[in-house]
Structures are given as C-alpha cells and as structure tokens.
Amino acid sequence: MESKGLNLTLKIWRQENAKAKGKFVTYEVKNISPDCSFLEMLDQLNETLVEKFEMPVCFDHDCREGICGMCSLYINGRPHGNDSGVTTCQLHMRKFKDGDTIYIEPWRAKAFPVIRDLVVDRSAFDKIIQAGGYVSVNTGGVPDANAIAIRKENADLAMDAAQCIGCGACVAACKNASAMLFVSAKVSHLALLPQGKIEAKERVEAMVSRMDELGFGNCSNTGACEAECPKEIKITNIARLNREYICSKLG
C-alpha cells in the first residue's frame, strides 16, 4: 500500500544577508512522501517557488549521505531535527505527522554569520583547523604509518573522534555557542596517535586560542553538544582537550 502524503506548514527563516533583517515566512507543502528526506522536501518546495517565479530558499547541502556536514539546519528547536545520530539529509519526513508546522532556521552563533536564508558561514571551523589541526612532521607513507604499533583502545578512541564532520551542531546546541566539542574531537584524534604527539603542545594552544579569537563561547558542561551531535562525539573528548591544554601550559 502506498504511503499517504503529508501536508505541512513550513515556517522558514528568510534573510538576504548577514546585515539584513530576517523573518519567518510561511509556506505550505502538499503530498510529501513520508519516505523522502528533509532536504528532498525542501527541494520540492523550491521547485514550486521557481515555477511561481519566486526566490527559492537557500540551504546548504552536498553529499546527502551524512558525511560532509553541510546540511546544517535548526528544525523545531533542534540541530538537524527530531532524530538522534543523523544529519538533516538523513532525517526522513516519516518523523513528522500530517498537518505539522515545522520551524526551520539557520545556526545561531556569532561565529557563524548568516550568508543568506538558511546558509551560514562556517569557515571559522576551517580557521581553527588551519591553526593546528594537522600533522606537519614527516611521518612517512602509509606502510610506515601502519607499521607503528598503537594500542587498540587509543586507536578506537582516535577513530571515534575522527568521525566529527564539522557540521556545527554542537555550537548550535550550546547555549554559549561553544565549539569545544568540535575542537576537542580534532585535538583528541591527533593527540591519541603517535604521529600527532610531536606537535601536541603547539597544536592545542593554537587551536584553543583561535577558537577564542573567533568568538565562540565557553563550555559549561550541559552536554547538549553530545546529545545533538549527528556522529555522537562524546564530551569525554572535552576532558581530554582540557588535559592536553593544561599539560601544554605546565610543560
């Protein structure tokens, strides 16, 4: 039996640029398949708007497979919507009911200024990575790296941290717009591996300093970042970041 389509009311934030005054605009969408993704639903809305010679809603997307982290939307008060462990592109319309009203907003953070509508400038994350989120020492090729013995526990923790896709949901979820979960994931990933230990001191100090310069807030340990992270990055990484930072200052 074919699923009945959903009729929904969308309250979408429209804003021409970072300096313009934004507002919610109401749209109605009809007969939306419960099996389509949230972004496919927005695609259908935009097709309707274009047919009426209206400006389509701008939103970020790329892979649509939960890998790139670009589909950053605040949906009904939650980053990436009312599901756990998913990005917006992995959120399906079956999570909503016929007749629902859905509020859709961009990330709200000083460090993520609005470009247009639902698109924000997340290049602040790139600047934090540029400050030290890499290994610049010569570690040899892949066979050399694979020959280095690493404890399974450390390898597993490093891979868990490396899953961070830099979507910014942690910042959007935090009442202080803190980027600590993102930075701690990047620091943990490298701090746990032998290849990352050579530059560990400089890395953590540079990345934390850049994070503060860019206007992100402080961590207050509410755990909202972990709860809303689509890759379920643990806040234990923040504890590791703090240890790395303290050790760098004392050493």
Residue 1 banded pLDDT, cuts 50, 70, 90: very low
In a domain, 180, yes or no: yes
Residue 113 contacts residue 158 (beta carbons within 8 Å): no
Pairing of strands 6-14, 119-120: unpaired
Residues 238 and 162 in one domain: yes
Number of structural domains in the chain:
2
Residue 205 banded pLDDT, cuts 50, 70, 90: very high
Residue 148 contacts residue 195 (beta carbons within 8 Å): yes
Residues 92 and 46 in one domain: yes
Q: Considering 70, 99, 116, which residue would you say is the last residue of a domain?
A: 116
Residue 233 contacts residue 181 (beta carbons within 8 Å): yes
Residues 197 and 88 in one domain: no
Residues 78 and 184 in one domain: no
pTM score of the predicted model: 0.93
Residues 101 and 50 in one domain: yes
Residues 179 and 162 in one domain: yes
Residues 188 and 217 in one domain: yes
Q: How far is the C-alpha of 218 from the C-alpha of 239, rounded, in Å?
A: 14
Give the domain CATH number at 34.
3.10.20.30
Residues 130 and 76 in one domain: no
Phi, psi of 119 (to 5 degrees): -100, 125
pLDDT tens digits, one per residue of 105-137: 999 999 999 999 999 999 999 999 999 999 998
Domain residue limits at 60? 6-116
Give the domain CATH number at 242.
1.10.1060.10
pLDDT tens digits, one per residue of 218-247: 999 999 999 999 999 999 999 999 999 999
pLDDT tens digits, one per residue of 153-198: 999 999 999 999 999 999 999 999 999 999 999 999 999 999 899 9
pLDDT tens digits, one per residue of 5-61: 999 999 999 999 999 999 999 999 999 999 999 999 999 999 999 999 999 999 999
Residues 130 and 199 in one domain: yes
In a domain, 1, yes or no: no
Q: What is the pLDDT of residue 138?
A: 80
Residues 21 and 137 in one domain: no
Q: How far is the C-alpha of 55 from the C-alpha of 46, rounded, in Å?
A: 8
Q: Considering 71, 100, 116, which residue would you say is the last residue of a domain?
A: 116
In a domain, 103, yes or no: yes
Q: Considering 101, 116, 131, which residue would you say is the last residue of a domain?
A: 116
Beta carbons within 8 Å of 232's beta carbon, 6+ residues apart:
84, 85, 226
What does each C-alpha distance from 4 to 30, 51, 185 come to in angstroms? 11, 24, 42
Residues 78 and 156 in one domain: no
Which residues are bridge partners to 11 per DSSP?
26, 103
**Burial (CB count within 10 angstroms: exposed 0-12, middle 13-18, buried 19+), residue 104:** buried
What does each C-alpha distance from 226 to 22, 130, 170 come to in angstroms? 29, 24, 7
Residues 78 and 188 in one domain: no
Average pLDDT over every residue of 71-94 = 96
In a domain, 23, yes or no: yes
Enter the DSSP assignment of 166. -
Q: What is the pLDDT of residue 3?
A: 60
Average pLDDT of every residue of the chain: 95
Q: Is the pLDDT of residue 143 over 90?
A: no
Please give the sequence-ordered ranges of beta strands (E in DSSP) within 72-168, or none if there are none: 74-75, 78-79, 101-105, 114-116, 119-120
